[in-house]
Amino acid sequence: MKVLNKLHDKRINALNVLIEISIKDYYKISQEIIKKNEFQRRRVKSSATVYSLLKSDLLQGCVIPPIVLALSKFKPESIETNDDDEILKQIREKQENLLILDGLQRTYTIRDLINELEESKSQKELNKVYDYKLRIEVYIGIDKLGILYRMLTLNTGQTPMSIRHQIEILYSDYLLEDLGEIKLITEAEDSKPTDFGQYKFKDIVEGFNSYLERDYLTIDRFDILDNIKSLEKLSKENQNSDLFRSYVTIYHSLAKMFRSKALDWEYKTEKNQQDNGAETFEEGNNKLSSQPFGKNVVQIFSKSQVMTGFGSAVGKLVDFELVSSLEEVEKLYVKINFSNVNEDLDDLIVKLDLIRQLAKKIGNDQRMFFHFFFRELFDKKGDAYLNIGSAIDEAYKSYERKTQ
């Protein structure tokens, strides 16, 4: 392994090092990367033919495009004076901290080829492939914003990791922090929240993004670069605070308050089969067109639509100076009128079912409704201030005015 070149990437303030490495050495490094780094994507299965061809090319000594890695745990003192040997030493010693920014599928293909040659006991072919050279670029001293930015620019037009997965990386430090009874579940874990206090990390991040952008609609690929700019600004303006942690804990506090006041509330339904084959779900005099939005408080507050509606609504209230901060909203929780909370939650489910029947894009319309609901609930100048039932009614009226 030897350093061929070093450049300073001024956009992300990191050192880009071009390295020549044997396939054998990269194979060893890749084992650590894939084994220990929880943010690597799952394997893409749809490109088997392309990667089968790549295996054939590798056997013939094909030179493939450089694989791009990131190493954030080592910060070189300067671009000009940093010693090449020290760079290579850090890469060897911190293999578990390396992240593949571009070339994950190529890495899997190299690993497949090596494993096949080992199983076939074709030592001559194996040694030949081991000795072939690769080029890798390593971004050293890169921060999370830089990682996300480079992932976006490198993966444009290719098979990218999902937007949510990219955003998870940006906020990944929070997965290692103690958030008390809150557990954040990553996309890589591929599981659903089952207990109170569990939230999908991607949903929490979307909710926080809605707070930053004051927009209940979810983030898309081309918004992320703008979002990075917002975050860079926020990181400078909020050096003594932690907005992400505040959003998570304050949202959870609201869910906890609803759960404690509603006790064992559950939306009870009975499924009926109609003559035309359609199913309805009935509770008392209310007939739903499908399964309820959530059967209990835990299910309701684990939905992304609620998180984004809450985030965007509170953001707007801050802009309009109706509340000063997320923390002020949390202080209002004890003043909410929970006297008819079970009936209010039943009504919430019915209203959401009506929206399902009217909506062109169900998820977006539900987000809109919750945006209006939380705006009404915490707007001290509104008629529904701190009254759940009134806030539901006013939110539904606002939804109708907006969509009809």
| Full 3-state SS string of the chain | CEEEEEEEECCCCEEEEEEEEEHHHHHHHHHHHHHHCCCCCCCCCCCHHHHHHHHHHHHCCCCCCCEEEEECCCCCCCCCCCCHHHHHHHHHHCHHHEEEEECHHHHHHHHHHHHHHHHHCCHHHHHHHHHCEEEEEEEECCCHHHHHHHHHHHHCCCCCCCHHHHHHHHCHHHHCCCCCCCEEECHHHCCCCCCCCEEEHHHHHHHHHHHHHCCCCCCCHHHHHHHHHHHHHHHHHCCCCCHHHHHHHHHHHHHHHHHHHHCCCCCCCEEEECCCCCEEEEECCEEECCCCCCCCHHHHHCCHHHHHHHHHHHHHHHHCCCCCCHHHHHHHHHHCECCCHHHHHHHHHHHHHHHHHHCCCHHHHHHHHHHHHHHHHHCCCCCCCCEHHHHHHHHHHHHHHHHC
pLDDT over 90, % of the chain = 50
Q: Decide if 165 is inside a domain.
A: no
Q: Tell me what pLDDT residue 222 has.
A: 46
Whether residue 192 is found in the same domain as residue 132? no
Predicted pLDDT at 302: 96
Q: 252 lies in a domain?
A: yes
Number of structural domains in the chain: 2
Looking at the fold, whether 152 and 177 belong to one and the same domain comes out as no
Domain that holds residue 83: 2-159
**175 and 83 in a common domain:** no
Q: What is the mean pLDDT of the chain?
A: 84
Report the alpha-carbon distance of residue 9 to residue 153 in Å, rounded: 13
The pLDDT assigned to 77 comes to 64
Q: How confident is the model at residue 328 (pLDDT cuts 50, 70, 90)?
A: very high
Q: Pick from 140, 159, 178: which residue ends a domain?
A: 159
**What is the pTM for the complete model shown?**
0.66
Mean pLDDT of 294-311: 96
Same domain, 65 and 186: no
Among 126, 159, 192, the domain-final residue is 159
The neighbour count for residue 199, using CB atoms within 10 Å, is 24
Nearest to 344 by CA among 334, 332, 352: 352
| 230 and 357 in a common domain | yes
Identify which has the larger pLDDT, 81 or 385.
Answer: 385
Asked which of 127-141, 147-161, 286-300 is least confident by mean pLDDT, the reply is: 147-161
Is residue 177 domain-shared with residue 72, that is, in the same domain? no
CA dihedral 43, 67, 36, 193 (to 10 degrees): -40
Residues 229 and 362 in one domain: yes
**Co-location of 146 and 40 in the same domain:** yes
The residue among 103, 128, 159 that closes a domain is: 159
> Is position 369 within any domain?
yes
Which pLDDT belongs to residue 34?
Answer: 79
Long-range contacts, 148-151 (Cβ 8 Å, 24+): 148/224, 148/228, 149/11, 149/12, 149/225, 149/228, 150/12, 150/68, 150/70, 150/101, 151/101, 151/102
Residue 291: Cβ within 10 Å count: 14
Confidence of residue 12 (pLDDT cuts 50, 70, 90): confident
> In the structure encoding, which two tokens stand for residue 62, read together?
């094909």
Q: Do 100 and 177 fall within a single domain? A: no
For residue 118, being part of any structural domain is answered with yes
At 374, the pLDDT band (50, 70, 90 cuts) reads very high
Residue 120, domain member (yes or no): yes
Q: What are the angstrom distances between the C-alpha of 125 and each of 105, 114, 117?
A: 22, 10, 7
Q: Is residue 164 part of a domain?
A: no
Residue 219 shares a structural domain with residue 348? yes
Residue 395 has pLDDT above 60, yes or no: yes
Q: What is the pLDDT of residues 86-102, one digit of tens each?
A: 889 988 888 878 888 88
Which two tokens mark 353? Answer: 């079912």
Amino acid (one-letter) located at 4: L
Is the residue at 213 inside a domain? yes
Q: Looking at the structure, do residues 89 and 212 belong to the same domain, yes or no?
A: no
Q: Does some domain include residue 57? A: yes
Q: Please tell me whether residues 46 and 178 are part of one structural domain.
A: no
